[in-house]
């Protein structure tokens, strides 16, 4: 290895000067994708290109001195700045509705009918926890990358809110005429006794939510990419199983790993200023997400989508099942 170290110091820079090369180092020669026990000078390239398609000056020699070379494709290497502006933006980076702080761009999915690429994340990231008939968010609202909390401005619009699944809280403000009439009558009576008090009637919601999910339409296909930071492309989807090893790539805590502890859970989730909401058919994992990681795609060890992370605590994380997410949003991976 010492001989190879000296060779790298002498010839390394000349190899790095080639257009497609992003790194050089020491390793073992691979044959047919399988490592051998032969030490080699490893050349890391953005993309493997057949020799006939390259300028002769850009071809990697089969050996440098007496040492064989090995070429490995690693893509373009860049800083993992999850909270900064990225174009194209991959999954795992900061994003958010213009009224919210910041969450995570989960992945790029496709509209089931048109095939158009769409940005997937949570409702509370892209649609400001909207129930659908309120003023919290509207279709067409601007989506920023990075989110406001990470310095995103109106110059950082990456797309616009396309559609979302409304979030219904455990007790929502009553909108029917009878309830509103009773509310006005009661408040007139209360004002004569306690002027500083008022009454509000809420409707009890018995049906839990299934997902916290939304889609945004990117301003163009070029501003997003289909890979996830530190993971790569999503390789399909699978059903969650207790004991399954999982991972996620998120805006706050980056790439983290965990294990599924519970499936089919019904959870009571604190939703900030809108109170509580119940979610059913949820996946519960070990703690693997922090505030700002909401919207991260939950993946198994083979990079298959399992769920969409939306909530958690210091002891556990929660995700909606990916099949429910995609079905309700009318999207596909």
pLDDT at residue 198, rounded to an integer: 67
Alpha-carbon gap, residue 235 to 302, rounded angstroms: 7
On whether both 287 and 182 belong to a single domain, the answer is: no
70 three-state secondary structure: strand
Q: Is residue 196 part of a domain?
A: yes
Domain count for the chain: 3
On whether both 185 and 317 belong to a single domain, the answer is: no
The string of pLDDT tens digits covering residues 258-289 is 999 999 999 999 888 778 899 999 999 999 99
Q: Who has greater pLDDT, 75 or 218?
A: 218
DSSP assignment of 294-317, as one string? TTPEEEETTS-EEEEEEEE-SSEE
pLDDT at residue 35 tops 90? no
pLDDT at residue 203, rounded to an integer: 53
What's the average model confidence in pLDDT over 32-38?
81
The string of pLDDT tens digits covering residues 277-326 is 999 999 999 999 999 999 999 999 999 999 999 999 999 999 999 999 99
Q: Is residue 81 part of a domain?
A: no
Q: Is residue 83 part of a domain?
A: no
Domain that holds residue 55: 2-73
Residue 325: its H or E element: helix 322-329
pLDDT at residue 139 tops 90? yes
What's the average model confidence in pLDDT over 65-78?
81
Q: Of 263, 306, 305, 258, which is closest to residue 284 (Cα–Cα)?
A: 263
pLDDT at residue 178 tops 70? no
pLDDT at residue 12 tops 80? no
Q: Is residue 80 part of a domain?
A: no
Would you tell me how many other CB atoms lie within 10 Å of the CB of residue 285?
Answer: 27
């Amino acid at each position: 290895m010492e001989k190879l170290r000296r060779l790298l110091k002498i010839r390394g820079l000349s190899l790095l000067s080639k257009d497609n090369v992003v790194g050089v180092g020491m390793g073992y020669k691979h044959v047919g994708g399988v490592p051998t026990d032969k030490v080699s000078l490893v050349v890391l390239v953005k993309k493997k290109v057949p020799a006939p398609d390259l300028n002769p000056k850009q071809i990697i020699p089969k050996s440098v001195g007496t040492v064989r070379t090995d070429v490995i494709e690693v893509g373009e290497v860049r800083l993992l700045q999850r909270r900064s502006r990225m174009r194209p933006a991959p999954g795992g980076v900061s994003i958010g509705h213009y009224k919210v702080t910041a969450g995570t761009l989960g992945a790029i999915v496709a509209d089931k009918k048109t095939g158009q690429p769409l940005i997937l994340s949570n409702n509370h990231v892209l649609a400001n926890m909207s129930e659908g008939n309120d003023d919290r968010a509207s279709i067409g609202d601007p989506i920023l990358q990075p989110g406001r909390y990470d310095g995103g401005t109106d110059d950082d619009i990456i797309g616009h809110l396309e559609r979302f699944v409304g979030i219904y809280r455990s007790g929502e403000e009553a909108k029917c005429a009878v309830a509103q009439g009773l509310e006005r009558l009661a408040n007139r009576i209360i004002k004569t006794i306690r002027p500083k008090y008022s009454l509000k009637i809420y409707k009890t919601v018995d049906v839990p939510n299934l997902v916290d999910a939304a889609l945004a339409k990117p301003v163009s296909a070029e501003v997003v990419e289909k890979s996830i930071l530190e993971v790569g492309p999503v390789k399909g989807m699978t059903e969650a199983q207790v004991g399954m090893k999982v991972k996620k790539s998120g805006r706050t805590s980056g790439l983290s790993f965990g294990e599924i502890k519970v499936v089919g859970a019904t959870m009571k989730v604190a939703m900030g200023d809108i109170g509580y909401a119940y979610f059913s058919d949820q996946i519960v994992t070990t703690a693997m997400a922090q505030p700002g990681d909401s919207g991260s795609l939950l993946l198994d060890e083979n990079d298959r989508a399992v769920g969409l992370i939306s909530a958690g605590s210091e002891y556990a994380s929660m995700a909606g099942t990916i099949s429910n997410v995609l079905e309700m949003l009318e999207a596909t991976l």
